[in-house]
Copies of this chain bind each other. A is one copy, B any other.
Amino acid sequence: MGRSILPTGFAQGIANTLYRAAGSPDLRIRLWTGDEVGAPPSTSAGTLVIRSPLALVRLAIDPELELGDLFVQEQIDVEGALDEFLAALLRREPKVGVSHWIPDSWRELALSTGRSKAHQNASHHYDVGNDFYACWLDEGMTYTCAYFPRPDATLEEAQFAKMDHVCRKLGLRPGDEVVEAGCGWGGFALHMARHYGVRVRACNVAEEQVAYARERAEKEGLADRVEFVHDDYRNLHGKYDVFASVGMLEHVGMDHYEELGSVIDRCLRPNGRGLLHTIGRSRPQLLNRWMRKRVFPNAHPPTLGEMMRILEPRNFAVLDAENLRIHYRLTASHWLRRFEREADRIEALVGRELARTWRFYLAGTTASFETATVQLFQVLFSRAGNDHIPLTREHQYSGDAPIFADEALDGAPRDGGSLGER
């Protein structure tokens, strides 16, 4: 075997350099010659199979981008569980050349999403086709982090529990008017209307999703209470008791955070509550370049500090922030296993290249949450001085109606009577 372009010893040298540049992770590399480098087989989480000298050279030049591209093009492959292999890679800090940790100075780089581009960005990702997503999402078509009250909950149970968890955080009451920015296939909007008796106006720039959501609202007899709008969140108007956005912020460039803050400010009534649910980071970092270029154009998972650029300029106060990283790890793991089980059907549906793109992306997502390269934040907020907020978070877990502070304290805590002072 072996091709004449690269002498075998030289190819092994490049592979070794590449391996060390990646921080010597617990995995192996096998060349087209059969030669192997890397961790001892006993500690290896998987083997990267490089099929040609060209693939090796491309990988050496730009590993962050080419690892995914070469996988999609079948120029490389992975033996062993793909998510475990990628987790082993992410666990190490790469050295120069595999610049996984982008310098801080780069993070200010505009990851701008112009209004006309927002449609393209979301379409790119979501208009693969509803049938495709139905192959591996839960029955309710919820494409955001689920919530596992027990570790052995099913994905369906966990997505239901997530929607309930968000509704309870927001303290929804019958009659509340809710606006949802980025509504996916409409599952959450319909859940709020059905189980909490609220009215919802929900927007989304992905046309096929909106069509699906509208049909669903009709079918479920909720079309009079849930309105799905094919539009950008920046065009939202009207006044609402609740602002909710589950899984949209990742697609909003940081350049637009202040604008998002102004939209929320414009739409939220004085005693309203809001919630932002987003993939995030524990430290500022750009999204992996392959993900940004091939899967989520211009996406950016923010740190909690970066998210404050939405809320602090408008004097919104964070009431409650919860990190659900472990829950997304479980969610993504469910998706990946369903995806792999349905691999043949998916390939027939969208073609081999797109199927491999998505498999690599889902495995990478699972690995990213497992290695904590990313986090998941749910941030509940209201105007700083709003007393119409739950006094504690107990109702999130008891399922009882929340006790709102303004109602419980009767507006007169200072006279002592209602405070139980002895």
Contact = CB atoms under 8 A, between A and B. Distances in A.
A330 interface: yes
A282 B317 contact: yes
A337 B417 CA distance: 12
B303 A83 contact: no
Interface stretch (A17-25, A200-208, A223-231, A383-391): A383-391
A231 to B, nearest CB: 30
A317 B372 contact: yes
A421 B155 contact: yes
Interface string A375-410: 101000000111101011110111000010100110
A283 interface: yes
A420 B384 contact: no
Nearest to A149: B392
B372 A282 contact: no
Interface residues of A, number: 69
Contacts of A70: none
Contacts of A405: 151, 326
Contacts of A325: 317
Interface string A309-330: 1011101111111110110011
A419 B389 CA distance: 35
Nearest to A375: B317
Between A153, A282, A394, A397, the greatest number of chain B beta carbons within 10 A of the residue's beta carbon is seen for A282
A114 interface: no
B283 A333 contact: no
B397 A315 contact: no
B393 A397 contact: yes
A152 interface: yes
B333 A393 contact: no
Contacts of A366: 414
5 contacts: A151-B419, A282-B311, A303-B312, A304-B321, A319-B322
A130 interface: no
A95 B273 CA distance: 29
A419 B333 contact: yes
A267 B226 CA distance: 51
Interface string A185-209: 0000000000000000000000000
Top-10 shortest CB links A-B:
A305-B308, A372-B385, A152-B420, A282-B384, A282-B317, A321-B321, A372-B384, A151-B408, A326-B405, A394-B397
B312 A319 contact: no
B393 A322 contact: yes
A148 interface: yes
A87 to B, nearest CB: 9
A159 to B, nearest CB: 13
Given A153-B420, A366-B414, A414-B84, A322 B323 contact: no
Contact of A304 (B304, B329, B333, B386): B304
A283 to B, nearest CB: 5
Nearest to A379: B321
Contacts of A396: 393, 397
